[in-house]
Amino acid sequence: MKKTAEMEKLHQMLKSDRFVAGGFLGSDERFFLDIIDDDIAELSRINITAAELAQRMQQITEAAIKGLGTWVKVDEKTEAKVDEAKGGLVCPWPHRAGLFAKRVTTVKRLDTGQTIFYSDLNIHFISEHSFFEGKGSSFRLEPRRLVEMIF
Ligand SMILES: [Zn+2]
């Protein structure tokens, strides 16, 4: 794929500390579009779409919000809670309405006790950009593990 100046600019923004400490790419050396392509390929192997995944994440977050920071039972095998901080996070992609609450949802599987967490910005990244962040970034989500944890 030919890299345009706009793509290169967005890559540098995702890599920078400007939006979050450590950037969205972490220690990942791949160009951001290659990260996206690899994760989309992984999703198709699991037979799920980014939209389905984001929809389930949003559903869990909305259920958890009702707990105001305490654990909420989402279904028979899932509990979740939200933690909110002041301020917001901005999506680096050039589009409108790119400001998101600093809300983190922690999902716990009741059968294994394992947890995973994601932010509102993660949901947006996955739903709109099929972006799971770079490996080594604080909010990187491995598609396969995320699917195993929330479905
Ligand atoms: Zn965006």
Average pLDDT over residues 107-118: 97
Average pLDDT over residues 32-51: 97
Provide the pLDDT for residue 97: 78
pTM of the model: 0.95
Provide the pLDDT for residue 74: 96
* Dihedral sign from CA coordinates of 66, 68, 69, 72: negative
**Cα–Cα distance measured from residue 143 to residue 151, given in angstroms and rounded to the nearest whole number:** 12
Please state, for a pLDDT cut of 70, what percent of the chain lies above it.
Answer: 99
The neighbouring-strand residues paired with 67 are: none
The rounded Å distance from CA 113 to ligand 1 centre is 32
Residues 123 and 57: beta-carbon distance below 8 Å: yes
Give the domain extent around 40.
5-150
Residues with CB under 5 A from ligand 1 (ion): 91, 93, 128
Of 3-17, 51-65, 84-98, 107-121, least confident by mean pLDDT is 84-98
How many domains, the chain? 1
The rounded Å distance from CA 36 to ligand 1 centre is 14
